[in-house]
Structure 1
Amino acid sequence: MRALITVGSTRFDELIQAVFSSSVLTSLSNKGYTTIVVQCGDSTFPYDYLLAHGERAFKLEKEGVLIECWRFKPSLQTEYEQANLVISHAGSGTIIDVLRMDKALIVVPNPTLLDNHQEELASELEKLGHLRSSTTSSLAATIQEFNPSSLTKFPPFDGSKFRNLLDEEMGFI
């Protein structure tokens, strides 16, 4: 099985460092993940020197897991499609993209961002059962305890809801 870890366009050193930890890699391996793909952005982590000097990606094996790592790609669509699990920062764009694809999702809010807005979004979507939220320090345990079949399917996009809301607000209804 394949897991994708992404920080989007942000820098999230703590998440990337956690992903390369023995405890997280062991949890992923114990759950059957043999390959993890890491989109690390501009994060600093123990293996970032492998992306220095113009290298675009690297691969290594650690704790029995094959790891592919790169900084950025123009699109993550293919990566989402190939992943059985996505572990992500709690950015709204990434969350919506992944949930609309009906993929298992664990989010790790980045507490260093303005007003900790990622925590609020993650908390609400977890209450609705669409994803699991974690911290970097509890990520290994969250992975170990995570049961994707317990998630509630995210509703499909319905453009009429916005149109109806706008019509009502404008007095057309």
Structure 2
Amino acid sequence: MIVFVTVGSTHFDALLLSVLSTPSLQSLHQKGYTRLVMQSGNSKIEFQALVKDAAKYGLETEIYTFKPTLKEDYDRADMVISHAGSGTILDVLRLHKPMIVVPNTSLLHNHQQELASVLDSQQYLKCATVQNLAALISSFDPKILQTFPDLDAARFRSIVDEEMGFA
């Protein structure tokens, strides 16, 4: 099973280090994950020793900085752990993938926390912190999540038309 971790285009070493911590690696191993793919963005972390730690828990690890698109990684993943960027969240939820988001609270106005909290309360995903990520992975049951509704382009168009005074 594959877990995919993404931090987007920002610098979010705290999330990467949390995923690569012993408690999180143990939790992923106990849940049956065998492959850890990480998009590290602008991270300055030296991953060599941390990858060796992941191997101790049976996790084959791949880490890269950026790709033109993450769709292939989303498609292959059995679960996604991500920063709480709105674009990433929508991309993953539209694929109906189980998702844990960790808001980057260092960002201006803490907008990631607001979005993550609302979607967590609606049971579309689970929201964690870097401190409780391992425990949430351990207790996470994707079956409790609601299926995110598919995009309804006609509805979106009618809302825009109404707002613009065309309807």
Q: Shorter-chain TM-score: which interval?
A: over 0.9
**Which runs of structure 2 are paired with 1:55-134 in the superposition (5 Å)?**
61-134=55-128
The answer for unaligned runs of 5 or more in structure 1 is 51-57
Q: CA deviation at 1:63?
A: 2.3
Q: Residue 4 of structure 2 aligns to a residue in which SS?
A: strand
Q: 4+ residue runs of structure 1 moved beyond 4 angstroms?
A: none
Deviation at 1:80, TM superposition (A): 0.5
Q: Which residue is equivalent to 1:4? A: 4
**CA drift at 1:46:** 4.2
Aligned-pair identity (%): 50
In structure 1, the partner of 2:146 is: 152
Larger strand proportion of the pair? 1
Aligned equivalents of 2:138, 2:121: Cα separation in 1: 20
User: Per-residue deviation at 1:170?
Assistant: 3.8
Q: CA offset at residue 48 of structure 1? A: 6.7
Q: TM-score, normalised on structure 2? A: 0.93
Q: CA–CA distance in 2 between the matches of 1:158 and 1:14? A: 36
For the aligned residue pairs, the C-alpha RMSD in angstroms reads: 1.9
Deviates more, 1:21-30 or 1:64-73: 64-73
Q: Measured at CA, do residues 20 and 170 of structure 1 come closer, stay the same or move farther in structure 2, by a change above 3 Å?
A: closer
3-state SS of 1:43 partner: coil
In 1, Cα distance between the equivalents of 2:19 and 2:164? 48
SS of residue in 2 equivalent to 1:61: helix
How far does residue 68 in structure 1 lie from its aligned partner after superposition? 1.1
Deviations 1:128-171 (A, max 9, x none): 11000000010000001100011000000011222222332344
Aligned residues: 166
